[in-house]
Copies of this chain bind each other. A is one copy, B any other.
Amino acid sequence: VDLLTAAPGDMPAQVQAIIDNGGRVFVAGLGVPRDVVNLCHDNNVLVASMCGKVRHAVAAVAAGCDLVIAQGTEAGGHTGTVATMALVPQIVDVVENKVPVVAAGGLFDGRGLAAALSLGAEGVWMGTRFIATPEAWGTPGYKEKLLSMAEDDTVVSKGFTGKTCRVARNDYTQYWEEHASEIEPFPAQFIRSINDGANHLGAGPNTEVDPSREFWPAGQGVGAINELVPAGDLVRSIVAEAEAVIDRMSTLR
């Protein structure tokens, strides 16, 4: 469930809808109001917060979040400037085991899972890799685009939402790179990109989109994603690969 389009004042009502429909975890991408945390906890729903800086994690723990997701700049979608390798251990250090830290950004296989655990994370969050599955919902061409992209085919653009968002580079991101001073703040730019026909976020396979302009979030791990893999197989292969990495590492001792 993506609450990006929820106006701030609507958030408790939207979260109540998630609770009413059986949600178990609420993940906030743009900060967590205290009343939302309380609402979730009163209903046995865990609250997680995507954190792009060390001080975001400090604030998330102080606000009562149950999980901190340390998301590096290489992640697809809304993202910050600090990269996963540097961010995760620095967030682990300030969180001090008060809550589990989950690593996100640039992770796509078992090597990344093992690396994240090495940095002190308790788990990983993979986004782009799971969009490239038969099960994932998305507009036509999105998955094929992911399979074709190299590691340097993403760009951080404010063109689609008004906030820094890592997406597939295309004519629309290029336009806004050349007209940066005209970008409006969120949510006005979000509405602008919808009106421009370049943003069908949340829409499915029966939507008509222009691949040269569409809003397709993607992380920098995308260059390693070369086939659609069923999500269950993906989870099993990632875990098996991480186990093999750990076994290989043990032989270094």
Partner of A85, one of B105, B150, B250: B105
Chain B residues near A83 (CB, 8 Å)? 72-74, 83-85, 105-106, 220
Chain B residues near A87 (CB, 8 Å)? 106, 151, 220
Stretch of A33-41, A116-124, A130-138, A188-196 with 4 or more beta carbons under 8 angstroms from chain B: A116-124
Which single residue of chain B is at the shortest CB-CB distance from A253? B246
A84 to B118, CA, bound (A): 14
A7: interface (CB < 8 Å) = no
CB distance from A218 to the nearest CB of B (A): 11
How would residues 96 to 133 of chain A score, 1 for a CB under 8 Å from any chain B CB and 0 otherwise?
00000000011111011011111110000000000000
Which single residue of chain B is at the shortest CB-CB distance from A251? B246
Chain B residues near A150 (CB, 8 Å)? 54-55
A234 to B219, CA, bound (A): 33
Contact, CB under 8 Å: A224 / B74: no
CB distance from A129 to the nearest CB of B (A): 11
Chain B residues near A74 (CB, 8 Å)? 82-83, 85-86
Chain B residues near A243 (CB, 8 Å)? 253
A217: interface (CB < 8 Å) = no
Question: How many subunits of this chain does the assembly comprise?
Answer: 2
A73 to B220, CA, bound (A): 11
CB distance from A57 to the nearest CB of B (A): 11
Q: For chain A residues 36-86, which have a beta carbon within 8 Å of chain B? A: 53-55, 72-74, 80-86
Query: For chain A, what secondary structure do more than half of its interface residues adopt (helix, strand, loop), or is it mixed?
Result: helix
CB distance from A52 to the nearest CB of B (A): 9
Contact, CB under 8 Å: B220 / A82: yes
Contact, CB under 8 Å: B152 / A53: yes
Chain B residues near A90 (CB, 8 Å)? 151, 221, 223-224
8 A-B residue pairs with Cβ-Cβ distance under 8 Å, sorted by A, are: A54-B151, A82-B151, A83-B85, A84-B86, A86-B105, A90-B223, A118-B245, A249-B250
- Nearest first, the 5 closest Cβ-Cβ pairs linking A and B are A86-B106, A85-B106, A86-B220, A83-B83, A74-B83
Chain A residues with a Cβ under 8 A of chain B:
53-55, 72-74, 80-87, 89-90, 93, 105-109, 111-112, 114-120, 150-152, 219-221, 223-224, 243, 245-247, 249-250, 252-253
Q: What would 11 more interface pairs be, CB under 8 Å, given A111-B120, A118-B249?
A: A53-B151, A53-B152, A54-B223, A83-B83, A85-B105, A86-B106, A86-B221, A90-B224, A111-B118, A112-B119, A114-B249
